[in-house]
Chain A
Amino acid sequence: MDSKKWNLIVLGGTGGLLLLLAVVTIVIDPFLHFHKPLEGLEYPMKDERYLNDGIARWFDYDAIITGTSMTQNFKVSEWNEKMGVNAIKTSYSGASFHEITESLRRAFSYNPDVKIVLCSLDSSRIMYPADKDEYEGYPEYLYNANPFDDVEYVLNKEVMPKTLAVINYTRAGEKTPSMDVYGSWSQYHTFGRDAVAKTMAQLPEISEEVVLSEEELAMARENVEKNWLELVKQNPSTEFYLFFPPYSIAYWDALHHTKQMDVHIQLELLATEIMLQAENVHLYAFWDWMDVIGNLDNYMDSMHYSEEINSKIIDAIASTESELTKENYKAYYEGIRELYSNYDYDAVWE
Chain B
Amino acid sequence: MLFNSYIFILFFLPVALAGYYGLNDRGKYSLAKVLLIGMSLWFYAYFEPAYLLIILTSIFVNYLFSKMINQGSAVLGTKVRKLVLILGIVFNVGIIFYYKYFNFFLENLNVLFHREWELRNILMPLGISFFTFQQISYLVDSWRGETKDYSFVDYILFVSFFPQLIAGPIVFHDEMIPQFNDRERKKFSHDKLAAGLWIFSIGLFKKVLIADTLGRGADYGFSNIAALSGAEAVLVMLCYTLQLYFDFSGYCDMAIGIGRMFQIEIPLNFNSPYKAISVTDFWNRWHMTLSRFLRKYIYFPLGGSRRGQLCTIRNILIVFLVSGIWHGAAWTFVLWGVLHGLIRAIERVLGGLLEKVPKVIRWLVTFLFVNLAWILFRAQTIEDAILFYTKLFTGWKETSQGGLFAQFHIIEFTYIVEHVQVLSSFVGRYPWIYMAIVLGGSLLIALFMKNCHEKEFKLSFKTAIATIVMLAWSVVSFSGISTFLYFNF
Contacts and interface: CB of A to CB of B under 8 A. Distances in A.
A and B associate: yes
Interface of A: 1-4, 6-7, 9-11, 13-14, 17-18, 21, 47, 49-50, 68-70, 93-94, 122, 124, 134-139, 141, 148, 151-153, 155-162, 199, 301, 303-304
Contacts of A136: 482
Interface residues of B, number: 36
A6 B194 contact: yes
A50 B468 contact: no
Given A1-B461, A139-B481, A7 B190 contact: yes
Given A94-B487, A122-B489, A303-B488, A153 B479 contact: yes
18 contacts: A1-B464, A4-B190, A6-B460, A7-B190, A7-B194, A9-B464, A10-B467, A94-B487, A124-B489, A141-B479, A152-B479, A156-B476, A157-B411, A157-B480, A159-B481, A162-B481, A199-B488, A304-B489
- Name the prevailing secondary structure of the B interface residues: helix
Contacts of B468: 9-10, 13-14, 17
Interface string B437-479: 0000000000000000000000111011101100111011111
B302 interface: no
B484 interface: yes
B476 A160 contact: yes
A156 B464 contact: no
Interface in B1-36: 6-7, 10
Given A94-B486, A148-B7, A158-B411, 7 more contacts: A3-B190, A7-B194, A17-B468, A21-B476, A159-B481, A301-B488, A304-B489
Contacts of A159: 481
- Residue from A1, A199, A303, A304 having most chain B Cβ neighbours under 10 A: A1
Contacts, number: 113
B197 interface: yes
Contacts of A138: 482
B174 interface: no
A3 B482 contact: no
Contacts of B467: 10, 14
B472 A137 contact: no
A6 B479 contact: no
Q: Return the 7 tightest CB-CB contacts between A and B, nearest first.
A: A137-B482, A3-B190, A152-B479, A13-B468, A94-B487, A157-B476, A158-B481
- Name the prevailing secondary structure of the A interface residues: helix
Contacts of A49: 484
A11 to B, nearest CB: 8
B191 interface: yes
Contacts of B7: 148
B185 to A, nearest CB: 16
A169 to B, nearest CB: 14
Contacts of B479: 141, 151-153, 155-156, 158
B415 interface: yes
B464 A161 contact: no
A2 B459 CA distance: 7
Contacts of A301: 488
Interface of B: 6-7, 10, 189-191, 193-194, 197, 411-412, 415, 459-461, 463-465, 467-468, 471-473, 475-482, 484, 486-489
- Residue from B193, B464, B486 having most chain A Cβ neighbours under 10 A: B464
A291 to B, nearest CB: 23
Nearest to A135: B484
B81 to A, nearest CB: 48
B464 A93 contact: no
B487 A152 contact: no
A280 B83 CA distance: 74
Contacts of A152: 6, 478-479
Nearest to B194: A3
B489 A6 contact: no
- Residue from B10, B197, B472 having most chain A Cβ neighbours under 10 A: B472
Contacts of B189: 3
Contacts of A124: 489
Contacts of B10: 151
A11 B475 CA distance: 13
Nearest to B418: A161
Contacts of B463: 6
Contact of B464 (A10, A50, A141, A155): A10
B461 A50 contact: no
Given A135-B484, A303-B488, A157 B6 contact: no
A153 B488 CA distance: 28
Contacts of A47: 481
A47 B484 CA distance: 9
B482 A156 contact: no
Contacts of A9: 461, 464, 468
B484 A93 contact: yes
Contacts of B484: 49, 93-94, 135
B378 to A, nearest CB: 21
A21 B481 CA distance: 16
Nearest to B461: A1
Contacts of A161: 411, 415
Nearest to A301: B488
Nearest to B487: A94
Contacts of B415: 161
A2 B191 CA distance: 8
A148 B464 CA distance: 29
